[in-house]
Amino acid sequence: MLKKTGPKKETIVLHAGHRKDSATNAVAVPIYQSTSYQFNDTEHAANLFALKEFGNIYSRIMNPTCAVLEERLSTLEGGAAALAVSSGQAASMMSLQNIAHAGDNVISSTDLYGGTWNLFNNALSTMGIEVRFVDPEDPQKFKDAADNKTRAIYAETLPNPKLQVFPIKEVSDIGRELGIPLIMDNTAAYSLCKPFEHGAAIEASSCTKYIGGHGNSIGGIIIDGGNFDWEKQGDRFPMLNEPDPNYHGAIWTQAVKPLGPIAYIIKARVTLLRDCGQCMSPFNAYNFIQGLETLPLRMERHSQNAFTVAKYLSKHPKVSKVIYPGLMSGKFKKRADKYLKGGYGGLCGFELKGGLKSGKKFINSLNLFYHLANIGDSRSLAIHPSSTTHSQLTSDEQLATGVTPGYVRLSIGIEHIDDILEDLEQALKKS
């Protein structure tokens, strides 16, 4: 007899959050292209605004199509609730703004996507939120950087471009010892890693990449793990534990307790999303739902192809270094094996012996690969980060994130592997 273990990821992405439309019995998720929703009566309206009932008021705050995506992704990741937003950058920003304000600080891993580095180093500082950058090679450094004004630790599961898997459990244990939540950007490892299983409290990720998978929509997702005791850490999180003037004095850890351990995500929805408006469109949510249905299958193929490419590049005479989790050694390989299940991901970096000049020649010689600033597309993509995605960083900042002048980042697609290798071979000959 089969042991009942609950739905697997391949099933969750097809069924969670929606079986049929209540009005028409349609199985495909409808696009609810509406700004607003009629109330049943005055009592119903008042209850919705008072959070005594959960329902639709205005699509800036909540939309039925977005709600399916939110529930599906929350279920996939093992979270309590989720909030769909306009982009991955919005998810990163809101995940911190929800618990930190001027005078507070956040500790971040140095291994970051260039856009996130700029966000933390510049935009947050203008808001009075200090970001303290820590090299993740030694998890103890996160503890050393914390004080009573630290509101979160932030990191990427599979950081782009270093691709050294973050020590989630080690750092989340340190955070919980101090009463500080770990926020993980799981963008590059969706379907391969579940940060909540290793102690993370919040996920803030891009839907634009692997979740969507087809390069046609921009969006982000914040998922509340429901596993962090915000009330116990009342002094550290006054924004969740003291009367909020933004919502007629609501104390979030108390006000929504009947709905479950989702004070963090409810506050983000009804204050930040309401006031700042970084909402996801229902059309984009629909596109992400379509992409999500094949995510586990695509991630298998992305990972298989990328591993083959990494092994090919490691033997090429023009390549000085290959950066791929499956080819790393020591603690980085152990972390990859511990946290990534079912593959090492679709991203592969490498350095050419000819440096900057060879890197540009290689990029310009590709035929199958698309030269653009994205990852996670079903198509294979390539970019030279030093002159593009990380160009606003200083040379030292680029090196800190793993970018060298000769570094090339590949996002390996799901094409036939022979075609991918053939294009790489001809471009390397010309570089």
Predicted confidence (pLDDT) per residue in 365-396, tens digit: 999 999 999 999 999 999 998 888 777 778 88
Average pLDDT over residues 344-372: 94
Whole-number Å distance between alpha carbons of 192 and 190: 5
- Name the strand (E) or helix (H) holding 205: strand 202-206
Burial class (CB in 10 A: 0-12, 13-18, 19+), 368: middle
Examine the domain organization and report whether 280 and 300 are in the same domain. Answer: no
Whole-number Å distance between alpha carbons of 378 and 215: 8
Q: Which residue has the tokens 């092994």?
A: 311
Give pLDDT, residue 61. 95
Would you say residue 10 lies in a domain? no
Domain span including residue 379: 295-430
| pLDDT per residue as tens digits for the range 186-239 | 999 999 999 999 999 999 999 999 999 999 999 999 999 999 999 999 999 999
Of the residues 260, 291, 322, which one is the last residue of a structural domain? 291
Give pLDDT, residue 389. 77
Examine the domain organization and report whether 320 and 352 are in the same domain. Answer: yes
Give pLDDT, residue 379. 98
Whole-number Å distance between alpha carbons of 328 and 137: 14
Give pLDDT, residue 398. 82
Would you say residue 21 lies in a domain? no
Quickly state the pLDDT bin for 50 (edges 50, 70, 90): confident
| pLDDT per residue as tens digits for the range 255-301 | 999 889 999 999 999 999 999 999 999 999 999 999 999 999 999 99
Share of the chain above pLDDT 90, in %: 86
Would you say residue 381 lies in a domain? yes
Give pLDDT, residue 172. 99
Examine the domain organization and report whether 49 and 83 are in the same domain. Answer: yes
Give pLDDT, residue 52. 86
Would you say residue 8 lies in a domain? no
Would you say residue 7 lies in a domain? no
Examine the domain organization and report whether 286 and 305 are in the same domain. Answer: no
300-329 burial by CB neighbour count: b if 16+ within 10 A, else e? ebbbbbbbbbbebbeeeeebeebbbbbbbe
Of the residues 291, 315, 339, which one is the last residue of a structural domain? 291
Would you say residue 4 lies in a domain? no
Q: What is the mean pLDDT of the chain?
A: 95
Q: What is the CATH number of the domain that holds 310?
A: 3.90.1150.10
Whole-number Å distance between alpha carbons of 304 and 211: 18
Quickly state the pLDDT bin for 356 (edges 50, 70, 90): confident
Give pLDDT, residue 178. 98
Q: Is the pLDDT of residue 427 over 90?
A: yes
Q: What is the CATH number of the domain that holds 112?
A: 3.40.640.10
Examine the domain organization and report whether 273 and 303 are in the same domain. Answer: no
Q: Which residue has the tokens 């249905």?
A: 293
Q: Is the pLDDT of residue 1 over 80?
A: no
Q: In terms of DSSP H, where are the helices of 260-319?
A: 263-267, 274-276, 282-292, 295-314
Question: Nearest to residue 293, comparing CAs of 187, 220, 213?
Answer: 213
Examine the domain organization and report whether 148 and 228 are in the same domain. Answer: yes
Could you tell me the pTM of the whole model? 0.95
Residue with more model confidence, 322 or 406:
322
Whole-number Å distance between alpha carbons of 210 and 187: 7
Would you say residue 174 lies in a domain? yes
Examine the domain organization and report whether 255 and 108 are in the same domain. Answer: yes
Per-residue CA distances from 403 to 40, 407, 422 (Å)? 56, 6, 26
Would you say residue 210 lies in a domain? yes
Examine the domain organization and report whether 244 and 311 are in the same domain. Answer: no
Quickly state the pLDDT bin for 42 (edges 50, 70, 90): very high
Examine the domain organization and report whether 253 and 104 are in the same domain. Answer: yes
Q: Is the pLDDT of residue 355 over 90?
A: no
Of the residues 256, 291, 326, which one is the last residue of a structural domain? 291
Q: Is the pLDDT of residue 117 over 70?
A: yes
Give pLDDT, residue 2. 65
Examine the domain organization and report whether 136 and 264 are in the same domain. Answer: yes
Give pLDDT, residue 396. 84
Examine the domain organization and report whether 363 and 392 are in the same domain. Answer: yes
| pLDDT per residue as tens digits for the range 289-326 | 999 999 999 999 999 999 999 999 999 999 999 999 99
Examine the domain organization and report whether 400 and 426 are in the same domain. Answer: yes
**Assigned token pair, 15:** 């069924």
Q: Which neighbouring-strand residues pair with 205?
A: 221
Q: How many domains does the chain have?
A: 2
| pLDDT per residue as tens digits for the range 143-189 | 999 999 999 999 999 998 899 999 999 999 999 999 999 999 999 99
